[in-house]
């Protein structure tokens, strides 16, 4: 009976991940996962001790620390400075779009994406309107470039952080495996968006869904920006040592919290707590499923027919499908919980492909949803079809090159049974 309850909770939770929210209720993915955990506890199927043993605390701690570092840049006015610099550049819309893609991709590779896009979206909208340009292609560039840029590093996205922690991957080796495909992905973002929007980026009448909110500006504080840059530099240097990454990140976050400029409550409030709670809840549910033994049976069956996701022919469509149904974060948590000891090449490929796959549809990543919601709050409606019109070719082109790169460089075999 306990196993049946766990399986039912798991199935309904991941159906909820795919749907995005419960019908007729304002319950999002985090709420759905949390309800699943509560059901497991209320039915006494698992205990708090059981659930605690399934949670990867090191990943959560590192993710929290990186969000604090990103918050430092937000409250120092660094993101405002970046947006002002981007939108004040001389030249035509093509140059402005290219700079937007480059800056957003660079920020996405090193800082917590949810805070980056939450802060930058209204600033880019205001800057585009000031130059009498349609903000929609710039919102697309913000979302897609952030996703593509995040593929380059171990700290670029929540799923990359998890993969790096579970697989104990090297920061330098990850950069070697994923930097070039991420940069090609940024080129694809600019090329596709400019091709689709170049003839209507100026003078387009926008459908305003509601009265736009006032853009909140953060005055730039040079000392606080330098402090954030020093913290990021220290983090990257220490990542090259044998020191535990989560402890390094937490120590740097503690130093940033000790400031006279911002209250610690303000900094902590910037953390994406719903995302951390989603991690905790999905760790608990998938961990409970793993304890039933069902995933091991499934993995054994897949191994018997040569369909483990340890080849690009299997992993690529799997990453594309799962990222755009249940989401890239839930997909990675699920795969890592039920797939014992995946080869390191598969982990690099999983991180790269899931990050790039998030560009396909609006629901492909939390970054996309934040950008769309922030755009709507400031009077810019980006429809599902408009997003997909750019997202589909961007994803297919960037993932196609990524598959070529991974196979050519020998990170992962193209076909099942191939030599790695």
pLDDT tens figures, 66-80: 999 999 999 999 999
Residue 420 has pLDDT above 50, yes or no: no
412 neighbors 159 (Cβ within 8 angstroms): no
Cα 14 to chain centroid distance, Å, stands at 18
pLDDT value at residue 242: 86
pLDDT value at residue 16: 87
DSSP conformation class of 206? P
Q: Once rounded to an integer, what is the mean pLDDT over residues 312-317? A: 95
DSSP H/E element including 271? none
- Look at residue 133 and give its three-state secondary structure: strand
pLDDT value at residue 386: 94
pLDDT tens figures, 347-371: 999 999 999 999 999 988 889 999 9
Confidence of residue 214 (pLDDT cuts 50, 70, 90): low
Confidence of residue 305 (pLDDT cuts 50, 70, 90): confident
Q: Once rounded to an integer, what is the mean pLDDT over residues 219-245? A: 91
Q: Once rounded to an integer, what is the mean pLDDT over residues 302-308? A: 80
State how far the Cα of 379 lies from the Cα of 137, in Å rounded to an integer.
Answer: 14
Confidence of residue 210 (pLDDT cuts 50, 70, 90): very low
CA distances from 414 to 185, 301, 307, 314, 372 (A): 20, 21, 12, 9, 35
Handedness of CA 395, 397, 400, 402 (dihedral sign): negative
Residue 207 has pLDDT above 70, yes or no: no
pLDDT tens figures, 29-56: 899 999 999 999 999 888 988 888 888 8
């Amino acid at each position: 009976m306990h196993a049946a309850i766990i399986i039912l909770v798991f199935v309904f939770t991941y159906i909820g991940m795919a749907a995005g929210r419960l019908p007729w209720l304002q319950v999002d993915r985090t709420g759905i996962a949390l309800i699943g955990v509560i059901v497991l506890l209320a039915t006494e199927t698992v205990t708090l001790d059981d659930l605690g043993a399934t949670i990867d605390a090191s990943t959560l701690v590192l993710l929290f620390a990186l969000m604090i570092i990103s918050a430092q840049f937000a409250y120092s006015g660094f993101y405002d400075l970046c947006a002002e610099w981007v939108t004040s550049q001389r030249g035509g819309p093509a140059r402005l779009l290219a700079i937007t893609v480059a800056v957003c991709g660079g920020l996405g590779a090193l800082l917590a994406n949810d805070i980056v896009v939450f802060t930058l979206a209204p600033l880019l909208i205001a800057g585009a309107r000031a130059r009498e340009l349609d903000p929609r292609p710039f919102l697309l560039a913000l979302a897609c470039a952030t996703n593509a840029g995040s593929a380059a590093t171990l700290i670029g996205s929540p799923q990359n952080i998890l993969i790096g922690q579970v697989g104990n991957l090297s920061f330098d080796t990850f950069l070697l495996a994923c930097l070039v495909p991420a940069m090609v992905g940024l080129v694809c973002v600019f090329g596709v968006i400019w091709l689709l929007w170049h003839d209507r980026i100026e003078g387009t009448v926008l459908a305003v869904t509601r009265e736009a909110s006032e853009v909140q500006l953060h005055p730039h504080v040079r000392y606080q920006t330098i402090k954030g840059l020093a913290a990021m530099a220290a983090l990257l240097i220490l990542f090259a040592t044998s020191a535990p990454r989560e402890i390094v990140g937490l120590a740097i976050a503690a130093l940033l919290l000790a400031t006279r400029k911002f209250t610690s409550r303000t900094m902590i409030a910037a953390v994406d707590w719903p995302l951390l709670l989603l991690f905790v809840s999905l760790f608990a549910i998938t961990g409970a499923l793993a304890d039933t033994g069902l995933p091991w049976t499934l993995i054994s069956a897949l191994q018997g027919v040569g369909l483990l996701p340890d080849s690009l022919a299997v992993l690529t469509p799997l990453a594309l499908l799962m990222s755009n149904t249940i989401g890239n974060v839930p997909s990675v948590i699920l795969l890592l919980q039920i797939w014992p000891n995946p080869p390191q090449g598969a982990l690099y490929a999983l991180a790269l492909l899931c990050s790039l796959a998030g560009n396909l549809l609006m629901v492909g990543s939390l970054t996309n949803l934040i950008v769309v919601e922030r755009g709507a709050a400031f009077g810019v409606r980006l429809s599902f079809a408009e997003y997909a019109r750019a997202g589909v070719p961007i994803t297919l082109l960037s993932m196609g090159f990524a598959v070529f790169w991974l196979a050519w460089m020998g990170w992962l075999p193209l076909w099942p049974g191939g030599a790695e």
